[in-house]
Structures are given as C-alpha cells and as structure tokens.
Amino acid sequence: MTRAFTPYILILPSFLLAAAIVLWPVEEIVSLATHDVNRFGMLRDFVGLANFRSLLADPDFWTSLWRTLIWTAGVVLGTLIVSMPIALILNEDFYGRGLARILIMLPWAVSLAMTAVVWRWALNGESGMLNSALRDLGLMDHNIQWLAQASTAFPMQILIGVLVSIPFTVTIFLGGLSSVPDDLYDAAAIEGAGRWDQFRLITFPLLRPFINIAFVLNTIYVFNSFPIIWATTQGGPANSTDILVTYLYKLGFRVGRLGDAAAVSLIMFAILLAFTILYVRLAMREEAAA
C-alpha cells in the first residue's frame, strides 16, 4: 500500500509545478476561447464553439495555417540539410577550428528580434545592403523590392529562419558526432570503405537520435516563431506572409478579438501536441525495431 503511493507523492511537487505553469494557462485559454470576450479580456457569455466556427469560416485562417506548414517545413528541413555538412566540417581537426566554431555559434548570441530588424534594413529596396551588394557584384542592374510582395519576401524569411536555426542545430550534431567512437572509422577504412560509405553506414545511423531531437525541437520553435516575420513584413502585404502566430497576434491585440485569438492558440497547441506525440511514437518504434 505505501509502496503504491510513494511514487505519486514523490512526483507530486513537480506535477504541481508543471500544472501551475502549463495546465493552468491552458485552462485560462480554454475559458477565453469558449466565451464571448471583450477586448480587455472580460468574459461575457459562454458561447461554446462559436469562436472556433467564426475562425474556420475565415479564409485568412486557412491560408495562414497552410503557410505555417510551408514555413515550418522549409525552415526545419533547410536547417537540417545545411547544418549537417557544417557539423561534419567542424568535427574535422583543422587549424583554426576553434575560431570557426565560435563564428558559427555567434549568431546565437544575438536576439532573434534584433537579427530580424537588421535583415529588414538589409532587404530595404533603395538603401538595403543586399541590393547594393548584388549590384556591385554585377548580378543585377535594378533594385529588387524584396519585402514588397510575398513571392520574394516569404522565401527570404524562410532563409533568415534557416540562418538563425543553424547554430543550435550544429551544436546538437557536434555533440552527436563526438559520441561516435573513432575506431569504427579505422575499422571501416581497413575494410576499404570510402568517406561516403563511412558517412552513409556509420555516421548517419549513429546520428539518427540527434537528428530526431533537432527535428522535433526545431519544429516546435519554428512553428511558433514570431519575430522574423513580424519584424520584416508584419505578415503583410495584405496578409500574404502571415503565419498562425502573426495572425493570432493581429487578431488579439490589433482587432481585439481575444476569444478568436485564444481559439487559434488552442488549435496551434493541438497541432504541436499531435505532432510531438506522433513523432515520439514513431521514433520509439523505430528504436525498438533497430
């Protein structure tokens, strides 16, 4: 009897802490989402799912949702693809490696909002650094207004997203690479495996858990990432670069529809939760099979 209770008593403090910082806000948001709420957060009548219905009827919600998926997939996959060779190079022993590692990590020390503001200046059509650099290199003869339309603004935003996610991802990969024992490579070399085979058959399989972690964590960060898009275009022009977070912010704090905004954040929470559970399940099944 005591034995059965002990574990629960032991996890009770951390459960209470988790409840206070996770479950309680969720409960608050649920109550906002299911009530008629004025712009100052005062609850009026219970309206059930009406806020969700008005949301689902809004075409901007659907385009933002779709764009969020493109944004997340673009940034996360782009980051993983770019970070892998960087991590492999930084794992080699070469002169100045320490400096190279610091240079790759430095952007991490700058706040995301600041980076985004700098990029906003760099992308300015008339006085931006990017245009003048491209012109000086002779790559083009007229200025491109990068942020004037979604067709150029959104790819640039994804690019910025990739750049700022690299340091974190490279760090994870470097940690993974340092755990691969060197004698595996020595043995493989003796057996006649080339560098590509070594990567394909040794490095990549052993890095799998680290790639998994980088994938899940990046997805969660990027899906919710606000500063890059907000600082460069505020989701404009005409909502054409909105993702769910920027859409939510406008809905809540510009238009003052806090109930709808709470509904959006619940939907985002549900998507991320479902994604995480699904992914952890798959990863665990794979590990069990391996």
Binding stretches for other proteins (CB under 8 A): 28, 31, 38-44, 124-127, 143, 145-149, 153, 233-234, 236-239, 250, 252-256, 258
Shortest Cβ 202–other proteins spacing (Å): 48
**Which residue, 235, 236, 224, 216, is CA-closest to 265?**
224
Closer of 148 and 177 to other proteins (Cβ): 148
Tokens 């238009």 belong to 255
Q: Which of 73, 84, 88 is nearest to 211 (CA)?
A: 84
CB of 138 to other proteins, least distance (A): 19
Q: How far is the CB of 143 from other proteins (least distance, A)?
A: 7
Neighbouring-strand partners of residue 37:
43
| 101 Cβ neighbours under 8 A, 6+ residues apart | 90, 174
Q: Least CB distance from residue 211 to other proteins, whole Å?
A: 35
Residue among 65 and 148 whose Cβ is closer to other proteins: 148
The residue (of 10 and 18) whose beta carbon lies closer to other proteins is 18
CB atoms within 10 A of CB 224: 17
Cβ proximity to other proteins, 219 vs 233, nearer residue: 233
CA dist., res. 58 & res. 20, Å (int): 33
